[in-house]
Amino acid sequence: MNKVDRNINSSLSNWSFSGKVAKNFEKHINKSVPFYYEGQELISFLSDFFVGNDSTVYDLGCSTGVLSALISDRHIEKKFKIVSIDIEEEMISIAKKDNHRKNIEYINSNILDIEFEKSDLVICYYTLQFIPTKYRQDFLERLYKSLNWGGALILFEKVRYSNSRIQDYMTQTYQEFKIKNGFNSENILSKSRSLKKILEPYSSQGNINLLKRAGFSDIDTIHKHISFEGFIAIK
């Protein structure tokens, strides 16, 4: 086992969000992903255009439920529901703890096994990148079919660059970001090795191609910093 963060260890190709990762998730992720909370806040602002009375919102890979709570609190006077799903039982337990919001339903399940009902907003916040590549296209096609007309998928992903020189620059720039946030070389290498086969990013265009094949035509970038990009796709 190798040290990834102060309270988190992992081994080769064996990253998991359970156990100590779940307990320390918020601190770790905000040090690891640039503008992680700000991205959640941006999504909550954009939800104004899609959430109405009787709406259904899906938060897929909801982790500790921070984003679901932001959206619920922002639209407190509306009668709608949020279905928040995560494969890790510990994440759902943390999300449920001290939650007083009656319109959030937390489900511990693999999102690939969910039968989606009609919805106005679906959020995949750094989630699709952990789904095996062979399932991604079918998964996005199911999401597209489940959305109401005018509904949106908001997708945030780590992305690769198509130009190898720029990819090299961005990889090293991301390492500088992590060093600035207190990670040492052992932490950075250990995390990278633990994510082999677990995290498989596509390029920006690769993600756009997936969305287009799923049926979306109105697609654009809403956020990008280093190798982290947010897309919106409207049905």
Global confidence as pTM: 0.93
Say if 97 falls within a structural domain: no
Is 107 contained in some domain?
Answer: no
**Would you state the pLDDT for residue 105?**
96
Each of the 235 residues of the chain gets a pLDDT tens digit; together they read 566 556 555 555 565 565 666 788 888 889 999 999 999 999 999 999 999 999 999 999 999 999 999 999 999 999 999 999 999 999 999 999 978 899 999 999 999 999 999 999 999 999 999 999 999 999 999 999 999 999 999 999 999 999 999 999 999 999 999 999 998 888 878 888 888 778 999 999 999 999 999 999 999 999 999 999 999 999 9
In a domain, 171, yes or no: yes
- Reduced 3-state DSSP string for the chain: CEEEECCEEECCCCCCCCCHHHHCHHHHHHHHCCCHHHHHHHHHHHHHHCCCCCCEEEEECCCCCHHHHHHHHHCCCCCCEEEEEECCHHHHHHHHCCCCCCCEEEEECCHHHCCCCCEEEEEEECCHHHCCHHHHHHHHHHHHHHEEEEEEEEEEEECECCCHHHHHHHHHHHHHHHHHCCCCHHHHHHHHHHCCCCCCCCEHHHHHHHHHHHCCCEEEEEEEECCEEEEEEEC
Could you tell me the CATH number of the domain that includes residue 42? 3.40.50.150
Query: How many folded domains does the chain comprise?
Result: 1
Any domain includes 98: no
**pLDDT for position 20:** 62
Residue 24's domain spans which residues?
A: 1-69+127-219
In a domain? residue 213? yes
Is residue 11 in some structural domain? yes
Residue 77 lies in a domain: no
In a domain? residue 102 = no
